[in-house]
Amino acid sequence: ANTINFLFFVCYRALIFPLLIRAGKPTPFFTFVLALLFCVFNGYLQGRSLTTYAAYPPGWLGDSRFITGFLGWLIGVAINIHSDHILRNLRKPGETGYKIPRGNNSVLLSGGMFEYVSGANFFGEILEWFGFALACCTIESLAFALCSLFILGSRARQHHK
C-alpha cells in the first residue's frame, strides 16, 4: 500500500499535473535538471527502502500508525490537488505571474485551504509526505518528509512575500 501511495503521487506530479497547468514562465534548464535528479534519487531511495529493507509485522495495515499516516497522506493529496486546481484557474489566458487566492476570488465558491494559509498547495504536499512517513515508518520516508518541509516551506515563504 505504501508503494502504491508513492507511485500515485509521482504519476500525478510527473504526468498529470504538467498537462493541466497553463503556460507560465519557462523553467530554467538547470532547475529542471536539479529537480529531475532529486526526483530520480528520491524515487530510487523510497522504492528500494520499501521493497527491500522495510519489514512490517502482520496486521500492519490495521496499525494506528499506518491508518493515521494513510489518512494524513490522503488529506494532503486532496488539499494539494484542490489547491493546484484553484491556482491554475486564477490565471487568465496569457498571464504568467503567480497569484495567491484572496477570500472568494477563486473560480470555486471557496478558496479551500487558501482561506487559512497562503501556500495551501505546499501545505498539502508537506502533509502528504509526513503522512507517508508515518505510514511507512522508515528513515528514508522521514528524510523525504523533512526535505519537503524545508524546500516547500522556503518556497511558500517566498511566495507569501
Torsion (CA) 96, 121, 12, 137 in degrees, nearest 10: 150
Higher-confidence position of 31 and 150: 150
What distances in angstroms separate CA 80 from CA 115, 145, 158, one per listed residue? 14, 15, 18
Cα–Cα distance, 107 to 151 (Å, whole number): 28
Question: Does the pLDDT of residue 34 top 70, yes or no?
Answer: yes
* Cβ atoms < 10 Å from Cβ of 74: 15
As a whole-number percent, the residues of the chain with pLDDT over 90 amount to: 40
Provide the pLDDT for residue 126: 96
Greater confidence, 9 or 129?
129
The whole-chain average pLDDT of the chain stands at 82
Q: What is the arithmetic mean of pLDDT over 107-112?
A: 59
Average confidence (pLDDT) over 80-94: 81
pLDDT value for 108? 46
Confidence of residue 20 (pLDDT cuts 50, 70, 90): low
Q: How far apart are CA 50 and CA 53, in angstroms?
A: 6
Burial of 94 (0-12, 13-18, 19+ CB in 10 A): exposed
pLDDT, average across residues 11-36: 69
Q: What is the structure's pLDDT at 140?
A: 93
Amino acid in the structure at residue 95 = E
Name the band, by pLDDT with cuts 50, 70 and 90, for residue 106: very low
